[in-house]
């Protein structure tokens, strides 16, 4: 039986990857996390795993071979709070631990599929996997970039010198089920859904950065698509490298708000409405851009999927309308 390790297993993407593995009949899964935030257990409660190991113990034990023959590690464990200012904490969690895991995986010939981030691009206007376009705006983005740089320095520009598969995924704006524990770091879609349930309206930032109200654009990617791409690389163990994982299509926050509001309207038997009507009816409202985010905010992101397509992955991604509707159908109908 195939044995898999998933770090950050009780987190958003980690738990969805376990669900995807379970759907394939893979249940010999070692779930690694820190459950100090105890309510994250809910993300594991309906999943099939073979063991749970606290993150404090896992990495040194893994290096000693404590878990027997492991086929692959999906490394999703990290501090993903982009507003965390403690650089020492961030580098220990996101860089040093990842490096320890990588070195052990190469020695033991275990495949490593790890979470990088589109935050590595920061203030760039081009989102292709090239050092020329990497300009993180915060220590979170830098912690992810430094590990990517270490992989390039150790394995070659395309990770071609890896002893076993190493794949880094630069996640763009991921949304979907199992993110409820993330608080302020949960997706825009999550917060808007609950805001609409509570207040009957969705609030968006007004004009900023040369963009009109609600027109700032991000590459929003549904978590089901993130899982599908992870599993595509799991099925192609000879393919290594660093890859963007987004849809390749930037959409404005207005699109997300419309999809959220209209999903709720349709669910209660009302017809969908266009942006202008929703604004006129007060179901979408614009608020001043917060001073705390000025200079630290990406107004535009759009994954360049060239490397992903050249690798042979032709997965078709959901757009915001499709993804948000599927997400809303799985959320409770009250905040």
Give the chain's end-to-end CA distance (angstroms, integer). 41
79 and 97 Cβ atoms separated by less than 8 Å? no
Query: Is 208 annotated as catalytic?
Result: no
Query: What's the pLDDT score for residue 334?
Result: 45
The full DSSP string for 132-167 is GG---SSHHHHHHHHHHHHHHHHH-TTSTT-SS-EE
CA dist 6 and 231 (Å) reads: 13
Neighbouring-strand partners of residue 114 = 75, 168
CB-based burial of residue 18 (10 Å sphere; 0-12 exposed, 13-18 middle, 19+ buried)?
buried
- Which residue, among 287, 263, 132, 264, has the nearest Cα to 206 in the 3D structure? 287
Query: What's the pLDDT score for residue 1?
Result: 65
Query: What's the pLDDT score for residue 23?
Result: 98
192 and 259 Cβ atoms separated by less than 8 Å? no
Query: Is 140 annotated as catalytic?
Result: yes
Given 59, 95, 114, 140, which residue is catalytic?
140
Given 182, 203, 211, 297, which residue is catalytic?
182
Average pLDDT by stretches of 10, the chain with 335 residues: 94 98 98 95 98 97 96 92 82 95 97 97 94 94 97 97 97 97 92 95 96 97 98 98 98 98 94 97 97 85 98 98 95 61
């Amino acid at each position: 039986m195939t044995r898999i390790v998933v770090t950050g297993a009780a987190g958003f993407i980690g738990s969805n990857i376990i669900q995807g593995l379970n759907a394939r009949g893979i249940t010999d899964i070692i779930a690694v996390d820190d459950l100090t935030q105890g309510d994250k257990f809910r993300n594991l409660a309906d999943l099939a795993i073979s063991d749970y190991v606290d993150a404090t113990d896992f990495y040194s034990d893994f290096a000693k071979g404590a878990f027997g023959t492991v086929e692959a590690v999906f490394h999703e464990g990290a501090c993903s709070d982009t507003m965390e200012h403690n650089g020492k904490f961030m580098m220990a969690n996101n860089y040093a631990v990842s490096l320890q895991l990588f070195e052990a995986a190469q020695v033991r010939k275990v495949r490593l599929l790890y979470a990088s981030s589109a935050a590595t691009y920061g203030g760039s206007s081009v989102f292709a996997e090239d050092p020329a376009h990497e300009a993180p705006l915060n220590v979170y983005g830098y912690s992810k970039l430094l590990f990517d740089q270490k992989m390039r320095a150790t394995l070659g520009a395309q990770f071609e010198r890896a002893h076993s598969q190493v794949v880094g995924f630069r996640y763009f704006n991921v949304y979907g089920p199992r993110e409820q524990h993330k608080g302020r770091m949960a997706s825009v879609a999550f917060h808007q859904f609950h805001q609409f349930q509570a207040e009957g309206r969705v609030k968006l930032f007004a004009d900023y950065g040369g963009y009109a109200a609600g027109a700032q654009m991000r590459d929003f990617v549904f978590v089901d698509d993130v899982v599908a791409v992870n599993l595509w690389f799991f099925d192609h163990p000879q393919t290594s490298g660093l890859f963007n994982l987004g849809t390749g299509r930037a959409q404005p926050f207005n699109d997300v708000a419309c999809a959220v509001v209209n999903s709720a309207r349709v669910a209660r038997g009302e017809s969908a409405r266009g942006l202008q009507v929703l604004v006129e009816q007060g179901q979408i409202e614009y608020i001043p851009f917060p001073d705390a985010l000025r200079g630290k905010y990406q107004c535009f992101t759009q994954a360049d999927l060239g490397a992903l397509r050249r690798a042979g992955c032709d997965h078709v991604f959901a757009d915001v309308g499709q993804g948000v509707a599927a997400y809303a159908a799985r959320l409770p109908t009250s905040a």
